[in-house]
Structure formats: structure tokens, C-alpha cells
Amino acid sequence: MKHVAGRVRPVALAGERLLPVLPALRPLLPEGGLRRGSVMAVGGSTSLALALVAAASAAGSWCAAVGVGRPPVGPRAAAELGVVLERFPLVAAAPGATRGGWAWAVAALLDAVDVVVAWLPPRLRPADARRLAARGRERGSVLVVVGAERWPEVVDVRLALVASSWEGVGDGHGRLLARRVDVVATGRGAAARQRRAALWLPAAGGGVAPAQAFPVKSTWARTAE
């Protein structure tokens, strides 16, 4: 009987363990997607966190944002990056470590949705962080922590914005059009090797697009040839 049970148990396919990410972000992640059960940290940019969950959300996954008080997400920006707002509730947790507090809310969401984007409270006990990471691992959901530097535990992948420059706005004229950023990914295990990507976040016209790693002025490039 046990033998048969072992044979009919569904096999977890690699594709089911990974949630998709936008093509431009794939080079930053060792497996090219969000691995279920992992903890990711995003530093320095809200839109990077939103871009990270956009493809999973568009593919039908439920995502949620949670913080102490309402997470400061602009729904319109999230929608422009590709997040489906109907499946992206914003949860305002109560302050404190009691029932209804931040850790409780995150744990409840990890049980229920595929990706939880969490804005960290001012103080977080390492024990709570460990417990949440274990909860996510057990339930197969991804925890994306915003404000990476205050997460007291090791994370699987840490994405950080190291440089950013806005295009389109001048000295009293124009308007913000696009932002060119450099994102560095570090982590442990397969992600230990540092990866770097230059991106348009947001790209002109919305979404995320890869940018050239080293900006080459087109005129210069032509003369060099």
C-alpha cells in the first residue's frame, strides 16, 4: 500500500516550484523565477518590489502587501507594472507583537496567498523573522521583504538598487518619463554569486525593460567603429 501511495504521489514539477518574474528581472534570480518557500529582500525601491511580483500576479497568483499601517503602495503604479489589483490586497496590520500585529498578519497571509510583500515594522525580533521564514517554506509561499537592511535573518536573495537616474525631466521643463537603475542581487546558495542588471524601472511607456549595462553614447560608438 505504502509503495503504491509513493508511486501515485504527485510529483512537484520545477515549473510549479517557481513563480514567474518579468523577463527583465530573470537574469537577477538564480533560477529565473521566485522559488516557492523562499525569502527575498528588496532594498531601496518600492517599484522594484512591485515589479518582482508583477508577473506572478498576472499569471493568476494571489499576492498581498502588508505593513504596520497601510503599505504606502500607489495602486496605479502597481497596475502599470503589471500587478493585477483585484488579486493584490493591501493589509494594514496593527502595531505591536500581539494577535493582529504585523507578524501575525504576515503569517496569516503566508498561509493564504502565493507572494506576500511585507513592509518591515520598526522593530522585529529575530525569532519572529525565523518563524515567518519557516512558515513560508512550509506553505510554499514567497515572502518579499521591503526594507531589506532591517530583516534580522539571512535571506535567499537580496535585491538592492545601487544607482538610479531619472530621464525626461530638465531644469523646469519636461516630465518624469523613465528611470534607469542598476540592481545588484546577492544571496546564499545558488544566489551567492553576485548578479547585476541595468534596467529601465519604470521604462518609458510602462513596465520594466533591460537597459545596456554600460551606457554607450550612440555617437561615440559610431565614431569608434
Partner 1 sequence: MSPVRTLVVHCPEWPVVATGLSLARPVAVVASGRVVACSVPARDEGVEAGLRRRQAEARCPSLVVVEHDPARDVRAFEPVVAAVESFAPRVEVTRPGTCSLATRGPSRYFGGDEALAARVAEQVSTVTAGACRVGVADGPFAAEQAAHAGTIVPPGGSAAFLASLPVSVLEPAVDTLADGSALVDLWERLGIRTLGDLAVLPAAAVLGRFGPAGAVAHRLARGLDDRPLWARTPPPDLATAAELDPPVESVETAAFVAKTLADGLFARLAEQGLAATSVGIEAETEHGESLARLWRLPAGLDAAALAQRVRWQLEGWLLASGGDRPTAGLTLLRLAPDEVRPDHGRQLGFWGGEGAGAERAARALARLQGMLGHEAVVTGVVAGGRGPAEEARLVPWGDEPSVDGAGRPERRRLLHSTGGEIPPWPGHLPPPAPAIVHSEPRPAAVVDTAGTPVGVTGRAGATGAPARLSIDGGPWADVAAWAGPWPCDERWWDARNHRRRARWQVVTTTGAAHLLAVEGGRWSVEATYD
In the complex, the residues that contact partner 1 under the rule CB under 8 A are: 45-47, 50, 58, 60-62, 64, 69-70, 72-82, 84-94, 99-100, 104-105, 108-109, 111-114, 163-166, 169-179, 202, 205-206
Name the burial class of residue 76, with classes exposed (0-12), middle (13-18) and buried (19+) by CB atoms within 10 angstroms of its CB. exposed
Residue 175 CA neighbour count, 13 Å, CB half: 1
Q: Which is nearer to partner 1, 121 or 191 (CB)?
A: 121
Q: For the CA atoms of the chain, what is the radius of gyration?
A: 19
| 40/66 with CB nearer partner 1 | 66
- Is the CB of 126 or the CB of 167 nearer to partner 1? 167
CA atoms within 13 A on the CB side of 108: 12
31 or 80: CB nearest partner 1? 80
Residue 117 beta carbon to partner 1: minimum distance, rounded to whole angstroms = 12
Shortest distance, position 30 Cβ to partner 1, whole Å = 26
Q: Are 21 and 34 contacting, i.e. CB atoms less than 8 angstroms apart?
A: yes
d(CA 225, CA 220): 9
Instruction: Supply the minimum distance, in Å, between the C-beta of residue 43 and partner 1.
Output: 12
Q: How far is the CB of 106 from partner 1 (least distance, A)?
A: 11
Strands 115-119 and 39-43: unpaired
